[in-house]
Chain A
Amino acid sequence: MAQSESITAAIKTTATEQIAAIQAGALDARELFDAYRERAAADPNNAFTWVASETPAELPAASTPLAGLPVAIKDLFCTEGVPSQSGSKLLEGYLPPYTATAVQKLIDAGSTSHGKTNQDEFAMGSSNENSAFGAVLNPWDPSRVPGGSSGGSAAAVAAGQAPWALGTDTGGSIRQPAAFCGLVGLKPTYGSVSRFGMIAFASSLDQAGPITRSVADAALLLSHMEGKDPRDMTSIGLREPIEVPTRTDLTGLRIGVPEELSGEGIDPGVRASFEAALEQAKALGATISTIHLPNAPHALSAYYVLAPAEASSNLSRFDGVRYGNRLEAEDGSLIGMYTRTRTEGFGAEVKRRIMLGTYALSAGFYDAYYGRAQQVRTKIVEDFADAFSQVDLIATPTAPTTAYELGAKSSDPLSMYLGDFCTVPMSLAGIPAISIPSGLADGLPVGLQLAGPAFSENLILGAAHALEQAIGFDTAGAIR
């Protein structure tokens, strides 16, 4: 695919810049859409599960807020008439009769999806190796994982196959792949974006959010996704409109660094990048202090009870009756059909978590596991409330490591789970958190996580923007 130099240059700019250029008449939306579609179709990193076969005859007008810019959408968002498979063989070829609210809102704001992105099956995973449609490669180093579960979305944006993408985050599934791929990833406050049309993993934790090349892009995309939805009883929307972040200093901002999430277990390269970022924050006027989230070390335990428990129930609907693929039993029995459909339709990680969650809810074990995990969740919510009475924002590394090699952790589920320890506490508390690139370690991107109280998106985006400008990381660094 021979793409013009000007388009290749445009692809390296951020979505906000592209919209400005389209609206100024300096960039042709159709040409840009074509270019992204072709790059998505070429797909060297296996980031896409579906790519539009052609650019729509009519793109939204340049005057719309999103100016006809394409958006890559994680496979688990239902899109009418377009495969929505949540990375699962069981749902291969599934065409929903309706579109997820978050996606519809972007369409209404003048965006069009040019592709659906690969992901860990049912969003269960941190490496995107658990996809029925194959592993996704990290555009910064194709021998490494892009992170997960929104690995396809992150890889697509990092490789210049989409200006931005929708992801979902249950325990870190936006933030960690954003960190691994040198991008900005925002998990908003639980309830700010409707979950209607998102194929559920864990209902009380799942939250949609943007994966973008800049903090301003994340703010813009979120501003068009959020909002209360009468079809999602847990949705509430944001309390104030998202502002375009312009902040360039952190004067007066108190940043707390929880010892429990920044000490032991963090790789030296990640630690160095994190500490350098803290120095920059200080230079911008922030005060940095050590704080404590005493129950955070138990967050993973609670998470790996609550999320699989909810998932074990959420995934019961995949029974081969109304949609998805079915495998009949040799004996022709109903229970045999159920069992074969699910046993052969689900991948190993999904089955492991269904087993774990079913066990945690089963008679005699509920109190010890599910009940206790809910209590730990209360303690973690309280820890954050205490912390935010002392500081404005909390900073941690997004992940303890940079992107690891494909296969490095796939044989040891527990070690994979332990990699989520910096992101899971915020998920349990439902609070917003962003990951921005803090630099490179051995040539691989490192993520810095900033978290704030519920509904503090504007504060987080402002601080992240100031740091982003100071750090000057090139998010187009993996675009070839």
Chain B
Amino acid sequence: MIDAKQVLHVARLARLELAPEDVQPMADELSSILGHIEQMSSLDLEGVKPTTHVVPVEGVLRADEAEAPLPREVALSQAPKHSETGFLVPSPQA
């Protein structure tokens, strides 16, 4: 199961914030879901191969041929903050 400390660690990894009063309820909620999920551990899965994909596709590759890039003003148009040439972000070093 998952405790409050792990919840805070996971939230940080996911760049989410939990109000102090929401941490324990989140731990309880996730624990109840994980409790159900852990029914899987009753299965004998020794030697069973994992399935990542069910598609019977042998990866088709792309030829090294170029398409037109987006016009820069289009590329920047949906950004919350941008200059004429780039996307603006708070400095990671601040």
Measuring CB to CB, which residues of chain A are less than 8 angstroms from any residue of chain B? 94-95, 97, 190-191, 204, 230, 233-234, 236, 295, 297-298, 300-302, 304-305, 312, 316, 319-326, 328-329, 332-340, 342-343, 346, 351-352, 354-356, 358-359, 362, 368-369, 371-379, 381, 413-414, 417-418, 428-430, 454
A234 vs B56: C-alpha distance when bound (angstroms): 9
Q: For A97, list chain B residues within 8 Å (CB).
A: 70, 74-75, 77-78
Q: Complex Cα distance A11/B19, Å? A: 49
Check if B89 sits within 8 Å of A371, measured CB to CB.
no
Smallest CB separation, A253 vs chain B (Å): 24
Q: How far, in whole Å, are A321 and B92 apart by their CA atoms in the complex? A: 13
Tell me the smallest distance from the CB of B69 to a CB of chain A, in Å: 11
Q: With A298-B39, A356-B33 known to touch, is A337 a contact of B90 (CB < 8 Å)?
A: yes
Q: Mark B36-76, 1 if CB is under 8 A from A, else 0.
A: 11111101010011111111110110100000001000110
- List, sorted by A's number, 8 A–B pairs whose CB atoms are closer than 8 Å: A230-B62, A234-B55, A236-B56, A324-B78, A335-B15, A358-B14, A372-B41, A376-B43
Q: Pick from B16, B37, B81: contact of A305, CB below 8 A.
A: B37
Query: Please, which residues of chain A bring their CB within 8 A of the CB of B30?
Result: 352, 355-356, 359
Extra contacts, 18 of them, besides A319-B15, A338-B15, A359-B10 (Cβ < 8 A), are A97-B70, A204-B52, A234-B55, A236-B55, A302-B40, A316-B14, A322-B87, A323-B79, A328-B90, A342-B15, A342-B16, A354-B16, A356-B34, A368-B41, A369-B37, A375-B49, A413-B29, A430-B55
Given A234, A322, A343, which contacts B16 in the complex, CB threshold below 8 Å? A343
> Are B36 and A301 closer than 8 Å at their CB atoms?
yes
Contact across chains for B14 and A373 when beta carbons are under 8 A apart? no
How far apart sit A224 and B17, CA to CA, in the bound complex (Å)?
A: 44
Task: Report the separation of the CA atoms of residues A302 and B78 in the bound assembly, to the nearest whole angstrom.
Answer: 36
Residues of B contacting A418 in the complex (Cβ-Cβ under 8 angstroms) = 36
A146 to B2 Cα, complex, angstroms: 33
A-B CB proximity, top 3 nearest: A430-B54, A374-B50, A326-B80
Choice from B29, B53, B54 contacting A352 with Cβ under 8 Å:
B29
Within the complex, the shortest CB–CB distance from A260 to chain B, in Å, comes to 13
For the complex, what is the distance from the CA of A375 to the CA of B46, rounded to whole Å?
A: 9
Shortest CB–CB separation between residue A27 and chain B, in angstroms? 39
Please determine whether A301 and B37 come into contact, CB atoms closer than 8 angstroms: yes
Cβ–Cβ contact A234 & B53, under 8 A: yes
Dominant secondary structure at the A interface: helix
> Which B positions have Cβ atoms within 8 angstroms of A?
2, 6-7, 9-11, 13-17, 26, 29-30, 32-34, 36-41, 43, 45, 48-57, 59-60, 62, 70, 74-75, 77-81, 87, 89-92, 94
Whether the Cβ atoms of B50 and A371 lie closer than 8 Å is yes
| A302 to chain B: closest residue by CB | B40
Smallest distance from the beta carbon of B29 to chain A beta carbons, Å?
Answer: 7
Is the pair B53, A204 in contact by a Cβ cutoff of 8 Å?
Answer: yes
Q: How far is the CA of A326 from the CA of B81 in the complex (A)?
A: 9
Residues of B within 8 A of A333 (CB): 90, 94
**Closest chain B residue to A336, Cβ basis:** B90
CB distance from A231 to the nearest CB of B (A): 9
Is A359 a contact of B55 with CB atoms below 8 Å?
no
Chain A residue, CB-CB nearest to B11: A355
Instruction: Determine if A372 and B80 form an interchain contact, defined as CB atoms under 8 angstroms apart.
Output: no
**Contact at A339–B48, with CB atoms within 8 Å?**
no
Given A95-B78, A301-B39, A359-B30, check contact A354 B89 (CB 8 Å).
no
The reply to whether A329 and B90 form a contact with Cβ atoms under 8 Å apart is: yes
B10 touches A355 (CB 8 A): yes
Contacting pair B16 A351 (CB below 8 A): yes
